Amino acid sequence: MIKVANLVKRFGDTTVLDGIDLEIEQGEIIVVIGPSGTGKSTLLRCLNFLERPDAGRLTLGDLDVDVTRATKADILAARRRTAFVFQNYALFANKTALENIAEGLIVVNRWPKAKAHARAREILERIGLADKADAYPASLSGGQQQRVGIGRAMAAQAEVILFDEPTSSLDPEWVEEVLALMKRLAAERQTMLVVTHEMGFARDVADRVVFMEGGRIVEQGPPSQLFNAPRDPRTRDFLRKVLAAQPAVST
Amino acid sequence: MSVLDFDYMLGLVPILLSYLPLTLAMAAAGMVLALVLACGLAVIRVLGIPGLNGATLLFISFFRGTPLLVQLFLFYYGLPQVLAFLTQIDGITATIMGLTLHFAAYMAESIRAAIVGVDRSQTEAALSIGMTNGQLMRRIVLPQATRVAVPTLMNYFIDMIKATSLAFTLGVTELMGATQKEAAGSFLYFEAFITVAVIYWGIVELLAWCQRRLEWRLNEAYRR
Ligand SMILES: Nc1ncnc2c1ncn2[C@@H]1O[C@H](COP(=O)(O)OP(=O)(O)OP(=O)(O)O)[C@@H](O)[C@H]1O
Ligand SMILES: [Mg+2]
């Protein structure tokens, strides 16, 4: 189980996360939505200490830390219990698809190379890129790169995979294949925390949708409730705007 | 009007080539030492270590801002006057010292730029899967920085080979010093210097060819 309590993050004088409380059950799929600049990325980045939070308590499985007192070892432990999928893929440019997936197993988990490569091949199979094992990121399409990015996160066997707008940098033609892979992971009950503007995905896949604004969680609930009967006027306002832009999911 | 004395030139080639090992040895020693020093300086600059960073900037500024010949004279003639234990400094040592410090100053900036140029998101990705800073540097950043820096560093090595010719001003009989002596004996200055020019040119072209091969291999991961 993952638990975030009263998480606060400031950049200089601006408070970007203003006391976030969030619990995620094992196997739960949570989608975070909200206007730009609201702190969605910052929330994800704080969960694996890419940003150092200013206050709060973080529970990731058997790890339980006050973030202000987190030691180097705590931070590494938190990172091993979370995996991150980046908007711009962020694949290691000097490594092949296979090596990108195996890298963490070899370096962080200290697996023998052969075992790590065997696992990476299984994952490539699952993400439909077995034939691209030896391809370098520069030769892959955006969709393929992001699938490798997801494969790298799968290899980590983390408590939760954090997705930060995984389809936002993709050309429209590649969005579907990435969403399809994420749906498969969701069906396997991989715990996921997904920031996305894909409202269709949120509606179809999420167990719970979290609406954030101004560094706070304004409202959360199952997609049927949040999309059909939002309680807070800010949620209604936000949904009206995005659903006008994405009419396909407005029913 | 006299034509070039080709026989003399051909006869000169093996004589001059016997001094090539010294030229290359000085360049190789200078390159290895300069690389080590430059990496250290680059890391200080990248991490912005307080105090050391300022000293590094001063070092780089001085050794890029003054002629190599001045630096060589400073080490060979000047230093022994102020540092007693250096009375024995010979021309070869002074040359290697000068080449090391001079080229390290240039190479440090290239290496720094190459490290800084590695896409920041890859750093975050490496950290996000739990790599330590050392692992991140060794496995992700440095291999990519190397690819960017190698062509420039090879150019500096080529420059350094040519710069070893200044050693003859410190009384070292290397390729250039040997040519000077031969020419003074035969009075065939034009033949002698054109011969040595062709030898330098040949070495540089050979290295340029190696450089292209190396770049091609290093770019393997980036071809589409
Ligand atoms: N490193 C930083 N330094 C200073 N301010 C930052 C930094 N990172 C983010 N911010 C600010 O924090 C706020 C929240 O940013 P964040 O990226 O978390 O928003 P977001 O909800 O992910 O937005 P988007 O939908 O545009 O991705 C923004 O106002 C942003 O400018
Ligand atoms: Mg964001």
Model ipTM? 0.92
CA A169 to centroid of chain Cα atoms: 15
Helix, coil or strand: residue A168: coil
First vs last Cα of chain B: how many Å apart?
58
- What band does A41 get if pLDDT is binned at 50, 70 and 90? very high
Whether the pTM exceeds 0.90: the reply is no
Q: Is the dihedral angle over the CA atoms A201, A204, A205, A207 positive or is it negative?
A: positive
B220–chain A Cβ distance below 8 A for any pair: yes
pLDDT tens-digit profile of B134-159? 899 899 998 999 888 999 999 999 99
> Which ligand gives the minimal distance to the CA of A33?
1
Is the Cβ of B145 closer than 8 Å to some Cβ of chain A? no
* A42 CA: nearest ligand 1 atom: 18
Q: CATH fold of B6-223, please?
A: MetI-like fold (1.10.3720)
**All structural domains of chain A with their residue ranges:** 2-245
Provide the pLDDT confidence category of residue B219 given band limits of 50, 70 and 90: confident
Could you state, in order of their start, the residue ranges of all structural domains in chain B?
A: 6-223
Pick the CATH number of A2-245 from 3.40.50.300, 3.40.50.180, 1.10.287.110, 1.10.1240.10: 3.40.50.300
Determine how β-strand A55-60 pairs with β-strand A63-66: antiparallel
Tokens of A59: 């529970």
- Chain A residue at shortest CA distance from B124: A50
Chain B contact present for A140, CB below 8 A: no
Cβ density class A143-166: b for 16+ within 10 Å, e for less: bbbbbbbbbbbbbbebbbbbbbbb
Lowest mean pLDDT among B24-38, B81-95, B103-117: B81-95
Contact B125 A95 (CB under 8 A): no
Q: Could you list the beta-strand ranges (E) of chain A.
A: 2-11, 14-24, 29-33, 55-60, 63-66, 82-85, 160-164, 192-195, 208-213, 216-221
Q: Does A103 touch chain B (CB under 8 A)?
A: yes
pLDDT value at residue A251: 44
Q: How far is the CA of A17 from the centre of ligand 2 (A)?
A: 13
From chain B, the residues in CB contact with A84 under 8 A are 124-125, 128-129
> From the CA of B220, how far away is ligand 1's center (Å)?
36
> Is residue B65 over pLDDT 90?
yes
The stretches of B129-188 forming alpha helices (DSSP H) are 133-136, 142-163, 175-186
pLDDT at position B81: 82
Q: Are B166 and B95 in contact (CB under 8 A)?
A: yes
Give the three-class secondary structure for A195. Answer: strand
Tell which residue, B200, B209, B211, has the closest CA to residue B163.
B200
Distance CA B189, CA B81 (A): 36
Residue with tokens 């091609």: B216
Nearest to A94 among B121, B125, B144 (CB): B144
Q: Which residue of A has its CA nearest to B135?
A: A107
Contact list in A for residue B120 (CB cut-off 8 A) is none
Q: Is A93 on the interface with B (CB under 8 A)?
A: yes
